[in-house]
Amino acid sequence: MSAPLVLLPSDEVPQDHLPTNSSNPLRLGPGLRILSQPSSKGTNHVLTATQAGLLTTDAKRNTVSILSFPNRRYIPTVNDFVIAQIHHSSVDFFHCMVTPHTAHALLGQLSFEGASKKTRPMLKQGELVYARVQSVGVGAGAEVELTCVNPATGKADGGLGPLTGGMVFDVSTGMAARLIRASSSSAENTDAIEGLVVLSELGKKLESLGGFEIAVGRNGKVWVDCSNAAESAVKVTIAIGRCLQETDQQNLHPHDQKKLVTKILRDMKLVS
């Protein structure tokens, strides 16, 4: 593994940092673009950065991308999971808010599992859905479309659909991406994947209270529900939200994350 490389806009990606896997074509992630420079012997292609951040490569999937600052705004990308809030509904669509100050995303009235004209969820203003970005359109000012089913199977894979109960917390988009990576990576080293131990620690400590359920949206939202905890459900929800937000804002190390969990649970009188 070569030394970490930080690129600024207009910096070129050095050849020796690119993955050497030649079986499938190199894929560019966000923050990079390819420029062609005509020269004496044909055209030269160089990869340059358009955003500042850490250069990361994945040798297995043959990708190269830039990890940029975690506080950035979420830009919808096809197949991302997001938590959207219903703003209003019209004849064919629910108009949902994904990020503040942007146009509403559209969610079809019938794009839920098993929905038909007669049986479909009647969502009201302010309710939450866990949805997948279906299309972002082509060209300027195109609308973002969401869906709550997998169009191939007609099933709600991965917990898609309306989120009932619980509470939603805002985190940075970088933290949301980190939570998703941590949960999707293989379970061989469960502690400290992506430097995150806060969730496994909370899971251990709150097992006696009935555990909890979370959903992470790429747009920087985390939905937390622990309806099993009976009378302390509200307290547990808020404790989990606070742990996640403080880990994010203070950029805590795994060691400090464990301390934070213990401190917050004691403050809220959940675990003695």
Smallest distance from another protein to CB 268, Å: 23
Smallest distance from another protein to CB 62, Å: 20
Which two tokens mark 257?
Answer: 């994350």
Residues 52-81 contacting another protein, CB under 8 A: 52-54, 67-73, 75-77
Q: Which is nearer to another protein, 228 or 249 (CB)?
A: 249
Smallest distance from another protein to CB 192, Å: 8
- Is 44 a binding residue for another protein by CB under 8 A? The answer is no
Which two tokens mark 196?
Answer: 């995150």
CB 157 within 8 A of CB 146: no
- Which residue from 98, 54, 81 is spatially nearest to 177, judged by alpha carbons? 81
CB 44 within 8 A of CB 6: no
- Is 1 a binding residue for another protein by CB under 8 A? The answer is yes
With tokens 């009647």, the residue in question is 122
Site string for another protein, 184-223 (x = CB under 8 A): --------x-xxx---------------------------
Number of residues located near another protein, criterion CB under 8 A: 40
Query: Could you tell me the sign of the dihedral formed by the alpha carbons of 189, 195, 201, 202, in that order?
Result: negative
CA distance 109 to 90: 9
Range in contact with another protein (rule: CB under 8 A) among 2-10, 107-115, 155-163, 234-242: 2-10
Local structure of residue 14 (DSSP, 8 states): P
- Is 109 a binding residue for another protein by CB under 8 A? The answer is no
Q: Which is nearer to another protein, 186 or 272 (CB)?
A: 186
User: In degrees to the nearest 10, what's the CA dihedral of 201, 205, 206, 207?
Assistant: 100
Query: Could you tell me the sign of the dihedral formed by the alpha carbons of 62, 64, 70, 72, in that order?
Result: negative
Where along the sequence are the contacts to another protein (CB under 8 A)?
1, 4, 6, 8-11, 31, 33, 50-54, 67-73, 75-77, 101-103, 136, 139-141, 174, 192, 194-196, 249, 251, 253-254
